[in-house]
Structure 1
Amino acid sequence: MNHLEVFSTIHTFIFDVDGVLTNNEVLITENGELLRKMNVRDGLAIKIAIDKGYKIAIITGGRSEGVKKRLEALGIKDIYSGISNKLEAFEEFVDLYELDPVGILYMGDDLPDYPVMRRVGLATCPKNSAPELFPIVNYVSPLCGGEGCVRDVIEKVLRLQGKWSED
């Protein structure tokens, strides 16, 4: 099965945050607060996917309240933050909703994402990911983290399933 066929079987998306929904840069304020930048087109695609009935989860090692508020505002209910073992969080999410991992797309960008990528039907990453991931992913987005790679994969899935619409 080629990756386009796999895209057409996806029912759930799971994303990392830093390096996927954000670029790999962090701004630090004078009081030590970390600031991240997110792509609004990624956010729109997430909202569209949720409105179309797809499950979306976040599994991240980060603990930013600002990021959590943004993701909740987009409609994401399953946010696993401050996670050191992403595979445990993945298994908890899959068990909670009784999901088939074959229908899950996961996008990560670095070594902590590796174990989850080995368990899903469609492992994806941004083009600026850690090189160790490239041999195991099914699809490398032509876009960098924080620059629309999330929209890229969501739009592919929805278009292939006839659920992406311009209206």
Structure 2
Amino acid sequence: MRSKKILFMTEAAIIAAIYVVLVFAFAPISFPAIQARIAEALTILPFFTPAAIPGVTIGCLLSNLLIGADILDVIFGTLATLLGTMGSYLLRKNKFLVPLPPIIANALIIPWVLRYAYGAPEAIPFLMLTVGIGEIIACGILGTFLLLALDKYKHIIFHYNKE
């Protein structure tokens, strides 16, 4: 029992660390109004392990704090990622639906953050479109490629019992 908790926390920590590294590696495209946060591809990981829910969420929180994001972005950006990963976990029975919750959560929440935290002058519907496109690139395309690649090796990489 204790070893399962340690494994869960270890997986979550590794996923959080990878998220932070990806945000910093792709920082120029991770934050503007027209953005594609490549690290969001990791939101498909709840398909493999529930440890990805806190892992990706904490990674998002740490990234936003370390980059010096506005407090609204820290709170609501992290919330969008949490909702997205929880939705991905709930849809894990159909691997091709797994990327949808983070795309939707971010497209609905992040435009408001961009407007009210950073004063983005663009209209909310335009920001929903641009953030949505970025999320389709990160989660829908890159995330799906990641999911399909990892699915072949899930028995080697992910040891935590999902059920």
Same fold (TM over 0.5): no
More strand by share: 1
TM-score, normalisation: structure 2? 0.30
TM-score, normalisation: structure 1? 0.30
More helix by share: 2
